[in-house]
Amino acid sequence: MSPSSAAPDTLPIITIAPYLPTLAANHSDTDRAATAKALHEACRDIGFLYLNVDGFVSPDEMQNALDLAREFFHRPQEEKDDILLTKADGARGYQRLRQNVTMGKADHHEGLDMYAPSPFPDTPENAKRHLGGANQYPVNPPALKPLLEDWIVKMKTLGKAVMHGMCDGLGMDEKEWQDMWAINNDSFWSMRLIGYPALPDGQDGISCGEHKDYGCLTFLHADDCPGALQVLSKSGAWLNADMVRGCFVVNIGAMWERWTGGLYPATLHRVVHRSPTYRVSIPFFFEPNFDAPIDLLPAAKRKTAAEGRKIEEPEGKLKYGDYLLSKVTSNFKYDDDEA
Ligand SMILES: N=C(N)NCCCC[C@H](N)C(=O)O
Ligand SMILES: O=C(O)CCC(=O)C(=O)O
Ligand SMILES: [Fe+2]
């Protein structure tokens, strides 16, 4: 089977099986090389792709995740407010409709954010500091928390597989891959459940404003609502990234853009959900370690030169956690939380 084929809306479909520990035995080195090459081309040319996860995440699991997340959003407002992000560290927890802000504008969605365990020492002061607290999981529906816990384990495995495929695709040797993995092996992952009511009639609003994701890789699973998720192509046109059965939508975050000096762009995307259904999405963000330094990769320099492209030297020094904190502290409107 060819590892990459055209999807109706032009994002490639790539199978990750050759890089997954439980499925790799059925695949040859040629399959692995083909996946690595397809990842390289997709990351370079659009920064978005469909990842086929057949045999790793079952269709039932995928449907169940959306159904349980939807049940949570349909619980009474007071119950959701019990886990507002202001009740923890201002970052972990539930956000009301329009509490998220992108480019100065309220987003027409509600959400629940979770992160890897606190990167700071466990003191009472740190528990109130952004990202220093503990996750707040919904009590209802009871099956949601265990499902999310399983999901996190699986997405971390998927993250390692795609990172390895990308590093091969970039032409890293084994030592370079080991060094790269050493700054990603304790991923400061995050996960959101997002609920999108339809945009109010006639409103020229936006469900989630255009943005780049922050870290390495996003694994997005969502209800199939044609036209809702849109991706900015290099030609300047917004492409629809509609869901494909058995696949995650995967995109590159800002850290990959910096690691590769722009060879792998973190592509702008947005959500405009106009149809009357309530749309649910579950992005999982596979990120570098909290204190990972993000510097230009020699492999990216070689590859960029080999392909006759121009490199953008990243400015200054950057650690992933500092970048994330700068985003988290400006993402929410807190003033009406306790109204
Ligand atoms: N971790 C990620 N990517 N979350 C996406 C948040 C949507 C954009 C955000 N309000 C912003 O302005 O960045
Ligand atoms: O809901 C979606 O389809 C995308 C959400 C998104 O881009 C994000 O949370 O970063
Ligand atoms: Fe995003």
Task: Give tens-digit pLDDT for 81-135.
Answer: 999 999 999 999 999 999 999 999 999 999 999 999 999 999 999 999 999 999 9
> What DSSP state is assigned to residue 118?
P
Name the residue type at position 118.
Answer: S
pLDDT of residue 2 exceeding 70: no
pLDDT of residue 31 exceeding 90: yes
Residues with CB under 5 A from ligand 3 (ion): 213
CA distances from 151 to 14, 15, 56, 93, 328 (A): 21, 19, 11, 17, 23
d(CA 289, CA 181): 10
Pairing of strands 4-6, 208-211: unpaired
Phi, psi dihedral angles at 249 (to 5 degrees): -85, 125
Q: What is the pLDDT of residue 329?
A: 84
For residue 109, the ligand 2 atom closest to its alpha carbon is 1
pLDDT of residue 3 exceeding 70: no
- The residue to which tokens 């992000």 are assigned: 85
Q: Is 254 exposed, middle or buried (0-12, 13-18, 19+ CB in 10 A)?
A: buried
d(CA 320, CA 254): 10
Q: Is the CB of 206 under 6 A from ligand 2?
A: no
Ligand 1 site residues, Cβ closer than 6 angstroms: 100-102, 190, 208, 211, 213-214, 285, 327, 331
> Mind listing the pLDDT tens digit for each residue in 177-218?
999 999 999 999 999 999 999 998 766 689 999 999 999 999
Q: What is the pLDDT of residue 9?
A: 47
Query: Cα(26) to centroid of ligand 3, in Å?
Result: 33
The closest residue, in CA terms, to atom 3 on ligand 1 is 213
Contact between residue 39 and residue 13 where contact means Cβ atoms under 8 Å apart: no
Q: What is the pLDDT of residue 204?
A: 67
Q: What percent of the chain has pLDDT over 90?
A: 90
- The residue to which tokens 């040797």 are assigned: 173
Q: What is the pLDDT of residue 201?
A: 74
> Mind listing the pLDDT tens digit for each residue in 286-312?
999 999 999 999 999 999 999 999 999
DSSP string, 213-239: -SSSEEEEEE---TTSEEEE-TTSPEE
Q: What is the pLDDT of residue 285?
A: 98
Q: Is the CB of 283 under 6 A from ligand 2?
A: yes
For residue 285, the ligand 2 atom closest to its alpha carbon is 10
163-168 contacts at long range (C-beta below 8 A, 24 or more positions apart): 163/216, 163/217, 163/286, 164/19, 165/16, 165/18, 165/19, 165/32, 165/35, 165/36, 165/39, 166/36, 166/39, 166/40, 166/43, 166/256, 166/264, 167/299, 168/32, 168/33, 168/36
Find, among 167, 161, 164, 185, the residue nearest to 297 by Cα: 167
Contact between residue 229 and residue 238 where contact means Cβ atoms under 8 Å apart: no
For residue 192, the ligand 2 atom closest to its alpha carbon is 9
Query: Cα(121) to centroid of ligand 2, in Å?
Result: 31
d(CA 277, CA 70): 11
- In this prediction the pTM is 0.95
Q: Is the CB of 44 under 6 A from ligand 2?
A: no
Contact between residue 110 and residue 97 where contact means Cβ atoms under 8 Å apart: yes
> What average pLDDT does range 261-290 have in this prediction?
96
The closest residue, in CA terms, to atom 4 on ligand 1 is 213
| Residue 40 CB-half CA count within 13 A | 17
d(CA 259, CA 323): 14
d(CA 34, CA 337): 50
Q: What is the CATH number of the domain that holds 146?
A: 2.60.120.330
Most confidently modeled of 200-209, 234-243, 278-287?
Answer: 278-287
- The residue to which tokens 């409103």 are assigned: 203
Q: Domain count for the chain, please give it.
A: 1
Q: Is the CB of 208 under 6 A from ligand 2?
A: yes
Find, among 115, 118, 93, 215, the residue nearest to 159 by Cα: 215
Q: Is the CB of 280 under 6 A from ligand 2?
A: no
Query: Cα(107) to centroid of ligand 1, in Å?
Result: 10
Three-state SS for 198-213 is CCCCCCCCCCEEEECC
3-class DSSP assignment, residue 308: coil
Question: Which residues constitute the domain of residue 202?
Answer: 4-338
Query: Cα(119) to centroid of ligand 1, in Å?
Result: 20
For residue 285, the ligand 1 atom closest to its alpha carbon is 1
The mean pLDDT of the chain is: 94
> Mind listing the pLDDT tens digit for each residue in 142-171?
999 999 999 999 999 999 999 999 999 999
Query: Cα(210) to centroid of ligand 3, in Å?
Result: 8
pLDDT of residue 253 exceeding 60: yes
